[in-house]
Structure formats: C-alpha cells, structure tokens
Structure 1
Amino acid sequence: MNLRTLRTFVEVVRQGGFSQAAEVVSLTQSTVSKAVKTLEDELGTPLLNRMGHKSELTAAGAIVYRRALVLLAERSDLIAEINDLRGLKGGILRIGLPPVGSGALFAAMFAEYRARYPDIEIELIEYGAKKLLECLESGELDVAALLKQKPYNEAFDYQDVRIEPLVVVMPEHHPLSTRKSVDFADLADSPFILFEAGFALNAVIQAACDKKGVTPKVTARSGQIDFIVDLVSAGLGVAFLPRMLAQKHLHDGIRLVALDEADTDWHIALAWRKNAHLSPAAGAWLEVARGR
C-alpha cells in the first residue's frame, strides 16, 4: 500500500467515479481502476460498489477512506515541516475559497499578500463547502474560507473574516417589497430561488425555515449570483444574499428587504486544522487577513 494509491482512491470517492478522478490526478481511467483494484486485492475486500459510471463505498471502503484522509494529512504535515527546516524563503500557500463572495472579500487581500510576499507561490482552488472541508482534513489545503455555522467543527481553528446579514432580493412589484423587514413566515407563499445543491448557504436558509415550520417552494437553483438576481427581476421568485453582495448587484427591477431571522448571518471565517503544522506561508496569510 502506498500513499499515491490512497490518494487515487480518495479522489475516486470524492469525484464519484473513475473517469472524473482520472482528470483530477492526471492519470488514465484504466490506471485509476488498476490502482483501486490493487488496493482491494491487498486488503482482501471490495472497497467500492460499482454501479454503471458511479461508485459507492462499501463498509470496508468507508474505513479505508477515513484512514486515508488521516495518512494524507500526516504526509502533508511532514513535507511542510521539512521544508520549513530547510529554510525556504518562498514557500507555497494552498488556500481554498467558496464560490460565493470570494472576490468581494479576498481580492484585495491577495493583492496585499502578493505585494508583501512576492516569492510565495499561491495555489488557489474554489470548491463548495463539503469538498473544502475534505481537502482541509486531508492536508491538501493549508487554510480555507468557510461559512461558519453552529455547531462549529472542533477539528479546526478559525479566524473571522466577515459577518453580514442576509437580505431578501425581491421583484420590485412583490407585495412585500416595501416592507423594512420580513421573516420566513411572511415568505411562505413565495417561490424561492436558491443556490445549487452543496452550497453552505442553503443549509442556513433551510434550518431557519424549519424553525418557522416553513417548507420552501424552490422554483430554481443556480451557482451564479448574476443569474439568480436576473431570475428575481424576471419575477420567478425571491432569493437570499449577504447584504454586501446584494448591494453590488442592485439594479432596476429588484428590491432588497432585510431578513429578520435569527442565526442566518453570512459568517465567513478562515479555517485550518487544529494542532497541525501551519506553514509560514499560511501564517503570513492569516496575518494579512487580521489586518484588513
């Protein structure tokens, strides 16, 4: 058993199939299949149930996946500590950002970081919350920006970046568009336009609706804020955005109304593994973020 094989297996699980994983690890599909088969033969048990183009973990596969994440994280820490010992002047910052709001929050930080540390290489990836968490756990990322929600994941340390209230983006002719604030009970009969599945903001909205006993009527989903706002303007429904992002997309045809609901703030924080080695490059990034 080697770490490269374990990394390949982890990506098959993450990507949901062999062909998708092959693209991520830059191998052929047949090589990926052989790597997983070799691992299964070595352990003497199937790790995946293969169903067409998709695969699901067996009970043994779930154990191997969980342990593989730990081993890959240890390998990452080992390499980082050795590099620090060698006194690398540059280094690499491996950072993950969510699809929503990253430009508004972090573009200026990246410019300042680059100006201060021009020799540090930046490896930036953009994923949804679930995959960012997995990449943090496996040590593939030094730090990631996450929507901070209770109960907080105790495996990570956090540094707050921004807290913004959510606002309701409404068509200008919506019967509630002149209100100063609304809650989910007020919006029970309005179609919702939400982000695509996997966006952490959806969970915040759903949890608040559950508390009010409201079942959202979802009429559309998108991963693009511009398109969501255009759908609202066209009268398809109402949407929910952090105030600072909604104000950037405000135009004729829509209105912004405050959302009067507890525990719905857009709380973005930088997260890193607790008690793990934090590279100097990552520490410098946290320092820049603290000063903003």
Structure 2
Amino acid sequence: MELRQLRYFVEVAEREHVSEAAVHLHIAQSAVSRQISKLEDELGILLFEKTGRNIQLTTIGKIFLFHAKTAIQAIEYAKYQIEEFLDPEHGTIKIGFPTSLSTHLLPTVISAFKDEQPNIGFHLRQGSYSSLKEAVKNREIGLAFLGPIPINDPDIEGHILFTENISALLPITHPLAERKSLRLSDLRNDPFVLFPKGYILHSIAIEACKAAGFAPNITSEGEDMDSIKGLVSAGIGVSLLPDSTFYEVTPRLTVKIPIDTPEVKRTVGIITPKNRELAPSEELFYQFAKKFFSVLEQYQ
C-alpha cells in the first residue's frame, strides 16, 4: 500500500468521479483507475460501486476512507515535525482562534512574537469553539486560543492566560444607559441580541441569565462580533460580551456597563493536544504566550 494510492483514493471518494479526481490531481484518468484497482486487490475488497455515471463508496469503503484520511494526516504531520526539528526558527505555526479574540489579543501576541522570531511564519484559522477543539485533536492545527478553556477533555490540555469579565452592551438610548453597573436581572424584560445556539458565547449568556433568575428573550442573532455590536447600536436589543472585545473603543451609540450580580466571567487561554508533543516552533510560541500574558498581568 502506497501513500500515493491513499491520496488517489481519498480524492476519488470525495468527488465520486474518477475523471474529476484525475483532473484535480493533474494525472491521467487511467493512472488513477489503475492505482485504485491495485489498492482494492491488495485489500481484497471493493471500495467503490457504480451509480449511473458516477461512483460511490461501498460500506467498507466508507470505513476505509476514515482511516485513510487519518493515515495521511499523521504522515503529513510527521513530515512537518521533521522539518521543524531540522530548522525550528524557520517553521510555520498553525494557530486557531475564535472571532471574540481576533481584534486585539491575537494581533498583539503575534506581533510581539514576530519581533523576537521574525523568520517563523503563521497559518491562522478562525473557527467556532467546537471546531477549534476538533482541529487541535485531529492535527489540523497545532494549538488554539480559546475562551473559556475547556475542562475534563481527555485529549486537550488547557492553559489559562487570563480571566475577564462579561459586560452588558446597551443602546445609548436605553433607560439604564447612565448606570455605572447593573444587576443582570435589570435586563430581564429587554430583547437580547446573541450569537446563535451552538456558539460558546450564546451558552455563556444563557447560563448567566439563568443564574440571574430569568430566560432571555432572544429577538436577534449575529454570527460575528461586528454584527452583534451593530444590532445593539441600532437599538434592536442588549447583549452580553467579553471585555476584551471592547479594547480601546465601545461601538458608537452604545454603552458598556459592568455586571455586578451575578459575576459573569470567562477564562481565556491556549489549548494544546495531550496525545502528542508540539513542534519546536509551536513550543516556542506557546512558552512565549504564557510569559507574555504573565508579564501583562503583573502590570494590570
């Protein structure tokens, strides 16, 4: 069994068409068909079956596809680690991040790191809370910034960089806009603007309102931070957002007000895989980020 055969197999399986796979691979269709046949002969099974002009995976083919992808990812990661060990100061770090950390935290720490390690590059990937955890587990990225840090995950190691408050964002015309702080229960009759269900900031807001004794009336949703802030600016409703998302400026026509009851916080940090070591350049960045935020905390 050859790596080339696995690559051809995955390409055909995902496109369900040999000729389309051949075009994408920049090789002759006959060469793809020949390698698939050799793979099936070696395994002693049929991986595909015809459906009209296309083909589709057999039941055993679907099982083999999962393991083929895992094998290819493992080999690619092994090659990447070898290159890293040969030249750790010229590597590329694959980092994941959520939208809530993209405006200040990520640019700040990467810029500071680049001052010390100018030859190390970055491949950045934005994603949801759950997708970033899976990407770290599946070797798609080396590490990820996340908030809050997951606990009790057997495959994830989490290091907390800091803890931040969640504040209320209100339209400037809101009756409570002049308050220095508020109880979350003060907003029980307001329409809420939140991230959709499945987003971690949605869950945090729901749990906070529950702790305050009410279920929020969610009238609008936004899938990114700018959308949420824009809807609040337009007077559509109120929202609950992490303090780091307001760095230096609060959106126009809104006010940010601290919540004193209940205390609403989230941890922010870096997650790494428990079942494998970081590549040298990843380890350099990981240790730098921990030191960077520990120094910041001393001055705050």
Distance 1:6 1:161, change over 3 A: farther
Contact 1:80 1:277 in 2 (8 A): no
Aligned residue in 2 for 1:202: 202
Distance 1:197 1:60, change over 3 A: farther
Q: TM-score, normalised on structure 1?
A: 0.72
Q: Does 1:267 align with 2:267?
A: yes
Distance 1:75 1:265, change over 3 A: farther
Aligned residue in 2 for 1:171: 171
Aligned residue in 1 for 2:255: 255
SS of the equivalent of 1:276 reads: coil
Contact 1:229 1:249 in 2 (8 A): no
Contact 1:129 1:199 in 2 (8 A): yes
**Aligned-pair identity (%):** 22
More off after superposition, 219-228 vs 113-122: 219-228
Contact 1:169 1:246 in 2 (8 A): no
SS of the equivalent of 1:153 reads: coil
More off after superposition, 206-215 vs 60-69: 60-69
Distance 1:226 1:140, change over 3 A: closer
Aligned residue in 1 for 2:157: 157
1 CA distance for matches of 2:126 and 2:9? Answer: 23
2 CA distance for matches of 1:64 and 1:5? Answer: 13
Mapping 1:115-154, distance limit 5 Å:
115-149=115-149, 151-154=151-154
SS of the equivalent of 2:99 reads: coil
- 1:208 CA drift (Å): 3.0
2 CA distance for matches of 1:180 and 1:88? Answer: 49
2 CA distance for matches of 1:262 and 1:63? Answer: 48
Distance 1:179 1:121, change over 3 A: closer
Write the letter of the residue equivalent to 1:240.
L
2 CA distance for matches of 1:262 and 1:3? Answer: 54
- 1:100 CA drift (Å): 1.5
Contact 1:226 1:249 in 2 (8 A): no
Larger Rg: 2
More off after superposition, 254-263 vs 273-282: 254-263
- 1:190 CA drift (Å): 1.0
2 CA distance for matches of 1:64 and 1:210? Answer: 45
More off after superposition, 132-141 vs 72-81: 72-81
Aligned residue in 1 for 2:183: 182
Contact 2:166 2:264 in 1 (8 A): yes
1 CA distance for matches of 2:126 and 2:97? Answer: 5
More off after superposition, 160-169 vs 251-260: 251-260
- 1:109 CA drift (Å): 1.5
Distance 1:151 1:109, change over 3 A: closer
1 CA distance for matches of 2:9 and 2:202? Answer: 32
CA RMSD, 1 decimal = 3.9
Mapping 1:209-248, distance limit 5 Å:
209-212=209-212, 214-246=214-246, 248=248
- 1:248 CA drift (Å): 3.4
Unaligned runs of 5+ in 1: 47-58
- 1:3 CA drift (Å): 5.1
- 1:255 CA drift (Å): 2.3
- 1:228 CA drift (Å): 2.5
- 1:121 CA drift (Å): 2.2
1 CA distance for matches of 2:219 and 2:92? Answer: 43
SS of the equivalent of 1:103 reads: coil
Q: TM-score, normalised on structure 2?
A: 0.70
Distance 1:44 1:193, change over 3 A: farther
- 1:259 CA drift (Å): 2.6
SS of the equivalent of 1:230 reads: helix
1 CA distance for matches of 2:261 and 2:63? Answer: 40
Distance 1:233 1:62, change over 3 A: farther
